[in-house]
Amino acid sequence: MPETKLEIRSKVDQFPLDDQQTSSLKMLLRVCRNTLDKVDEEMIERAFRLCCMSHQSDLRASGEPYYLHPLEVAVIMAEEFNIDDVSVAAALLHDTVEDTTVTLEEIRKLFGADVMHIIDGLTKISGVFENKNTRQAETFMKLLLSMAEDIRVVLIKFADRLHNMRTIGPLSRQRQLNKAMETIELYAPLAHRFGLFKIKNELEDLCFKVIDPNSYKFIVRKLREKREAREAFIDEFMNPIQSELQGQKFSFEIKGRPKHIYSIYKKMQSQQKPFEEIYDLFAIRIILEYPHTKEDCWRVYSVITDWYTPIPKRFRDFISVPKANGYQSLHTTVITKKGRKVEVQIRTRRMDYIAEQGVAAHWKYKEGEVNDGKNGSEQLDKMLHWVRDVLDAPRPEAATEFVKDFQLNLYQDEIYVFTPNGELKTLPNGASCIDFAFEIHSEIGERAIAAKVNGKMVPLRQKLKSGDQVEIITSGKVNLNPDWMEDVVTHKAKARIRQFIKQKERKVANQGREIWEKRATRGKVEISDQEITQIAKIFKFNDAQELFYEIGSGAFDVNQLYKRVKQFKSKGRLDQDETEQEKVSLTEKSEEMTRLARSAGEGKALLVEGELTDVKYSYANCCNPIPGDHVLGFLSRNGDVKIHRSNCKNAHHLIRTDNERIVEISWAKNIGTQFLGGIRVVGEDRVGLVNDLTEVLSKSLQTNMKSINVSSEDGMFEGLITAYVNDLSHLEKIIKRLERVEGIRNVSRYE
């Protein structure tokens, strides 16, 4: 017989805690008392005891007791989000149903329906799926469904992922990359969409540290070197502003901090500039204390622009038009008298709280835990509206396609456009008139035939920009065009167009099946769907539906199918060509390739999972890895390995799409081969500069050059040098030596 509620509770309450666990429980309760408005300590203690009891035999990859992970997730829920005691209890138990013998029904008996539903939403999908990616996609879809009902589900997921990324070190390199790629492409953008900027920034930095450790360390070192100068500059910049604001009786706090590491890296990449030329490395934030209002933010803006010259193109008013995640602030970039650019953000204390806490703040407003006279429920509904839109839209047949579409709407910059009646609509940057039509209503998108932007007729495919006023002209019938798929960026538009394409394909496939059935009847043959599927695969089709589509569209002759079927019926088997007879499954092939790649060899540059190999390999031209770079290998179908740098975009694509072919790669010692390294040199143009650079390379460093391309404009020189190097330390030595050449401002590795 199943245990009663009292029996389960008694067993949990009597579970003995060791000294470390007792100390951990006291710490957690202390954090909860300091950060939560009310705390059911009995519930949290019971959840902690059940956590320790159910995970008592489990260890993390680091060898630590497993209960420390849910404990840290619970601490993050209390300290970072300070939601409520229910979410802390659920955080302690978030892995129990998935990884232990504890059931959802037992959770309900001990803690109630709320905790049970939250844990159910966090539990991964189990069962038989075609591959790991499908299972992950199904789990993510389940998370979205649960999140639409209770936002605490996704907040615990963020806390869980944050702690996993903080403690990722003991995992293998491949598992680290998989986790980091999933986090930076899905969970960090999702945190951004919910206004959780602090969490988003830390997740991105932790992922960047895994994906490209060399660049991460470089930027950290540069920030550390410039810290004193940066702080002195912030003080100098703010002194007159501070005096002016104090004179006008403002109550405020000033924060000056560097932008997070990954955002600096992205700026260096997008602008193709070295660290030293990225001037807005930090933002100064002015936070006005209560009872200051948004009108006071404009007064502060006026004070700043009286002292420093603003750059008009860099002004953003997120107070009048908040971001979709509720973010409000004034942003301006100004230039000092010495020509330095500084970004300044101005906001009230409430705006800052929402900017830091995002959806968690709106949840607390909704529940009445924070009372400032605002309608928290309305704000929360607004933030979740896009999730419900995604869930209500026609879903692709494959869960992986759903997740891919969902990503499109996560991380793009936003534009603000207006309906003819002046209603504001927020769309991703790059959205077209078609996206706008579907944003108004699905039926408008389906029947759209033309558009007017700012009163002028334009093609439906035209991209929109902030401030546009858009009117959609419709017809009385559906006008969907499959070619629109390339012109839309929103999930709602893509989902409906994909559904339309599938419907058309299904119709053509049905016509193809009818053609086949008539031919089969005429030839007096009968064959099952299962046998047709086998024959379809002989013709290189994925399934019978794809075969019938080709017949229906006229791309495949039905008589070819008839001939094969007759052969099958007469011989009781299918004659396959030699290639087909030798064909093995991708899984078997991958296992065989991996076995070959691990076979021992001598004197090679490549180590697979720590072992020297004699497998054939080559270096990817897209990223030109050199010894010392963090790298990974991709197994081709013929068993060769292509080596990429771990920060290469193509490598990231391979991790997402062909994960089973990735192998862990490291460099052997004493390789004895030279590699191509790219170097970018920027400085003041002068006579003899190129000669000085080449002389340093050839004479001082005994390094051979493959090529040098130079250009000069307005007295500035830029050179791109390709040189033969032994490894990363050799390349870094060249960079440091070239920096000492007269007139050189910056030297960096060039992709």
pLDDT value at 68 more than 90? yes
The CA distance from 173 to 631, in Å, is: 10
**Does the pLDDT of residue 255 top 90, yes or no?**
no
Helix (H, G, I), strand (E, B), or coil: what is residue 41? helix
Query: Which has the closest alpha carbon to 103: 223, 2, 195, 209?
Result: 2
**Number of Cβ atoms within 10 Å of the Cβ of 393:** 21
- Average pLDDT score over residue span 417-432: 86
For position 286, what pLDDT does the model report? 93
* pLDDT for residue 562: 86
Please give the pLDDT value at position 647.
81
At 664 the pLDDT is 79
pLDDT (average), residues 134-138 = 65
- Rounded to the nearest 5°, which phi and psi values hold at 50? -65, -40
- In this predicted structure, the answer to whether residue 639 has a pLDDT above a threshold of 80 is no
Is the confidence at residue 60, as pLDDT, over 80? yes
Catalytic residue annotation: 98-99
User: Which whole number is the average pLDDT over 621-649?
Assistant: 81
Q: Which residue has the tokens 């996206």?
A: 435
- The pLDDT score that the predictor gives to residue 93 is 94
Which residues on neighbouring strands pair with residue 317, listed in sequence order?
330
pLDDT digits (tens, 9 = 90+) for 258-285: 778 998 888 888 777 777 777 667 788 9
If you write DSSP's letter for every residue of 361-415 in order, what string do you get?
HHHHHHHTSS-SS--HHHHHHHHHHHHHHHHHSPPPSSHHHHHHHHHHTTSS-EE
pLDDT digits (tens, 9 = 90+) for 651-672: 777 776 667 778 778 787 767 6
pLDDT of residue 50: 94
> What average pLDDT does the segment 216-240 reach?
86
Q: What is the DSSP string of 150-177?
A: -THHHHHHHHHHHHHHHT-TTS-HHHHH
Long-range (24+ apart) CB contacts under 8 A made by 49-54 are 49/12, 49/13, 49/15, 49/17, 50/12, 50/15, 50/92, 50/93, 50/96, 50/102, 50/110, 51/92, 51/93, 51/96, 52/15, 52/17, 52/21, 53/12, 53/15, 54/96, 54/100, 54/101, 54/102
CA 75/CA 69 separation, integer angstroms: 10
Q: What separation, in Å, do the N-terminal and C-terminal C-alpha atoms of the chain show?
A: 67
Region of poorest pLDDT, from 86-90, 294-298, 532-536: 532-536
The model's pLDDT over 437-462, given as tens digits with 9 standing for 90+, comes to 998 888 899 999 889 999 888 889 89
Tokens 């049970």 found at:
116
CA distance 436 to 460: 10
Which of residues 471 and 133 earns the better pLDDT score? 471
User: 129: pLDDT confidence band, cut at 50, 70 and 90?
Assistant: very low
Q: What is the pLDDT of residues 485-539, one digit of tens each?
A: 888 988 788 888 888 888 888 888 899 899 988 988 888 888 888 888 888 888 8
Q: What is the overall mean pLDDT for the chain? A: 81
Q: What is the pLDDT of residues 349-395, one digit of tens each?
A: 988 888 877 777 666 665 555 544 455 556 666 666 666 666 665 55
Which pLDDT does position 593 carry in this prediction?
Answer: 44
The number of beta carbons lying within 10 Å of the beta carbon of residue 291 is: 9
Lowest mean pLDDT across 133-147, 237-251, 698-712: 133-147
Bigger pLDDT: 388 vs 62: 62
Measured from the Cβ of residue 30, the count of other Cβ atoms closer than 10 Å reads 11
Of 83 and 6, the structure prediction assigns the larger pLDDT to 83
Dihedral class, residue 358 (left if φ above 0, else alpha if ψ from -120 to 50, else beta): left
Question: Which pLDDT score is estimated for 598?
Answer: 41
Q: Which of 376-390, 560-574, 681-695 has the lowest mean pLDDT?
A: 376-390
pLDDT for 572 beyond 80: no
The predicted model gives 71-90 an average pLDDT of 92
Strand partners, 256: 284
pLDDT for 588: 47
Q: Is the Cα dihedral 156, 162, 167, 171 positive or negative?
A: positive
Most confident of 21-35, 223-237, 543-557: 21-35
Average pLDDT over residues 302-311: 91
Give 407-421 pLDDT, tens digit per residue: 656 656 778 888 888
pLDDT band at 337 (very low <50, low <70, confident <90, very high): confident
Exposed e or buried b for every residue in 49-62, given b needs 16+ CB within 10 A? Answer: bbbbbbbeeeebee
